[in-house]
A and B are shown apart, each in its own frame.
Chain A
Amino acid sequence: MRLPRIFRTTPFRLTLLILALFLSAASAFLAYIYVATAGEARRRTEMEITSEMHSLVAAYDRAGVDAVNQSLIERAASERPFLYLLMNQAQMRISGSIEESPVEKFVGPATWTSFSVTDRDAAGHTLKHPARGLQQRLRGGEILFVGADIGADQAYVNKISTAMQGAGALVIVLGLAVGVLVSRNVTRSMVGLSEVVDAVRNGDLGARAHVRGARDEFDELAAGVNEMLDRLERSMAGHRHAGDAIAHDLRSPLTRLRARLEVAYLEVEAGKGDPTQALAQALEDTDGVLKTFAAVLSIARLQAAGAAPDPVLFDPSDLAANIAELYEPLCEDKGLDFAAELAKDLQARGNREFLAQALANILDNAVKYTPSGGAIMLRVRRRSSGEIEFSVTDTGPGVPDGDRERVVERFVRLENSRNQPGAGLGLSLVAAVAEAHGGRLELAEGPGKVGELGPGLRVALVLPRLG
């Protein structure tokens, strides 16, 4: 049998658990009260009965049945709360305050029994009181019964236990009601999330959970789910975009390559061109396409992944020093003054391979655009914000303020760079690397105009602070 949905919810089950705990605690409490009061009252009553029995037996031993009868008469006049019955050997009543013994089968020399006495209260209602009795055979064979009402203490316990049963029932009813209410409330919050999950499963990545603004854990969960979906959607869009971008980015270099081959073919066919040279040119062009392809693929992968793969902790100055070692001879060869200023004891987290490539790309640009006699400065430092900054400053022509955002875009090459080799992907890759690390790429003016040189460009790759 399947329970209705509301009874299967976690809050409802928790309510049941708490109710069960409450009921066991209440039972334990009741048991304690009973032992402490009812048990005590019964023991006291039994002690009183025993001592009364003793005194009557003592009277009998002293002076026989008559003495007992005498005592009973005396006691009947007083307000003693005992019930008496004196019987002969054949268990026939001789005297007493009750007609017959509540002991059904008397075997003993002495037997205890529990019974109840009926009474009427002021309003005429019949009341039943529990009672205890002791029946004992006297030396002459007569049988004496002494009983007593356990009395008010027992009634008190009964009242408490009735009250607690009532209260227990009330608690169960109220508890179940609260359980249903709470679970309905929680379910309402969860249903929103389940709907979102269903929608996403059915392919609607745009579905978002409603954040009610209560700032409770459900809101946190909803916000978390929404954020996760945002990232997922961005990543999916990134993948889609990457596919489109690769197709788009490779079309133009491949078209160029094809055109060149066609022209070369026609020329060779007409006997005007040199086949070897045409092939060499075609090979070179193909290498260019392959390089472009590799760069576009790296950028697309980084953008699609949204995070740098295999990040490790490393010393950024160490990484920069290695790259500086690679580029220093090239700068010198071009008549550029190269200097590196690398702060010590820094730590950063990221993919060394990608960061090294990004730094190499920045230096490639600086070397390409800075005229002989200029200078290039590679710097690694920690900003006061805790961010790690790799920067390359050159004294080349720089990039006009308005163009700085544009040069980061793919395949954008400014007018004065047309005669330089390259596909215009260098800074795009740097930007992609920076973003994949949660950092950014910053372009600014270099040291300013000094004679023929400058104003220069300052390219900074900024990594976020650790932790």
Chain B
Amino acid sequence: MRILIVEDDREAADAMERGLTEAGNVCTRAADGEEGLAVAQAGEFDVMIVDRMMPKMNGVQLIETLRREGDQTPVLFLSALGEVGDRVAGLQAGGDDYLVKPYAFAELIARVEALARRRETGSVQTLLKVGDLEMDLIGRSVCRQGREIDLQPREFQLLEFMMRHAGQSVTRTMLLEKVWEYHFDPQTNVIDVHISRLRSKIDKGFDRPMLQTVRGAGYRLDA
């Protein structure tokens, strides 16, 4: 993936670039909003990681400008501001996701991959298919190897998210944000319990488990 990092903190950008390159991406860097705008206008990127507070032009202004020009590249905002209002402002400006500093690197990678993936599957799907697992989004039914699986509404949402991000690591925080719409980290393993319930429904009785635990990151649904 080609990733544009617009971040004025050199050390943070260094670490990000190393980590993302290590994970097989090609990174381009810009040290402030104006440079970021010029680089973004000149090149093609799969994902942009943009710090909200930067000299010259802040992240929100940068993205607003790009969106006005018709640039639809997915944007992950990074911010030291975590209040609800800041997040909403960032998303309204055209950001696609929002990560509050300080963050775990696994969280950043998972979100960047999720954003890039979302772009690939641009068309509206009514049927999700991962390996032998199928989800009918209109009929609200799930089956694996032709066998119907009965899910609670929340389990259905959880599985839908995992299927849309099949093959990628998703973190517990992402699940809590995207499935439950809470933006805080619980001290206990609430998400793990929901996952293990879902796992017992989709993997129990089948030869091969699909829902994997990724150490240090979260979970991954494999075909």
Contacts and interface: CB of A to CB of B under 8 A. Distances in A.
Contacts of A297: 82
B188 A291 contact: no
A380 B100 CA distance: 32
B193 to A, nearest CB: 4
Interface stretch (A43-51, A201-209, A234-242, A349-357): A349-357
Contacts of B183: 353
A364 B188 CA distance: 6
B43 interface: no
B184 A360 contact: yes
Interface in A398-413: none
Contact of A325 (B154, B184, B187, B188): B154
Nearest to A333: B193
A87 to B, nearest CB: 103
Residue among A293, A326, A422 having the largest count of chain B Cβ atoms under 10 Å: A326
B84 interface: yes
Contacts of B103: 290
B185 A291 contact: yes
A161 interface: no
Given A301-B83, A309-B84, A357-B184, A290 B102 contact: yes
Residue among B85, B188, B216 having the largest count of chain A Cβ atoms under 10 Å: B188
A356 B180 CA distance: 11
Interface in A328-359: 329-330, 333, 351, 353, 356-357
A417 to B, nearest CB: 12
A351 B84 contact: yes
B188 A367 contact: yes
Contacts of A330: 188-190, 193
Q: How large is the interface on B (under 10, 10 to 19, 20 to 34, 35 or more residues)?
A: 20 to 34
Interface string B179-199: 010111111111001101100
A37 interface: no
Contacts of A329: 190, 193-194, 197
Interface residues of A, number: 30
A421 B187 contact: yes
B26 interface: no
A40 interface: no
A294 interface: yes
Contacts of B180: 322, 326
Interface in B193-220: 193-194, 196-197, 216
Interface string B72-86: 000000000011110
Nearest to A423: B187
Nearest to B188: A364
Q: Is the interface of B mostly helix, strand, loop or mixed?
A: loop
Contacts of B197: 329
Interface string B59-83: 0000000000000000000000011
Given A280-B216, A322-B180, A333-B193, A353 B84 contact: yes
A294 B189 contact: no
A325 B84 CA distance: 22
B223 interface: no
Nearest to B106: A283
A333 B188 CA distance: 12
Contacts, number: 62
B92 to A, nearest CB: 14
A309 B85 contact: yes
Nearest to A361: B187
A368 interface: yes
A356 B184 CA distance: 9
B158 to A, nearest CB: 11
Interface in B154-188: 154, 180, 182-188
A325 B184 CA distance: 16
B14 to A, nearest CB: 18
B104 interface: yes
Contacts of B154: 325
A361 B186 CA distance: 7
B34 to A, nearest CB: 30
Nearest to A293: B102
A310 interface: yes
Nearest to A301: B83
A360 B186 contact: yes
B83 A309 contact: yes
A364 B182 contact: no
A310 B85 contact: yes
- The 10 A-B pairs at the shortest CB distance, nearest first, are namely A357-B184, A329-B193, A330-B193, A364-B187, A364-B188, A333-B193, A330-B190, A360-B186, A353-B84, A290-B102
22 contacts: A280-B216, A287-B104, A290-B102, A290-B104, A291-B185, A294-B82, A301-B83, A309-B85, A310-B85, A322-B180, A325-B154, A326-B182, A326-B186, A329-B190, A330-B188, A330-B189, A330-B193, A333-B193, A333-B196, A356-B182, A361-B186, A361-B187
Interface of B: 82-85, 100, 102-104, 154, 180, 182-190, 193-194, 196-197, 216
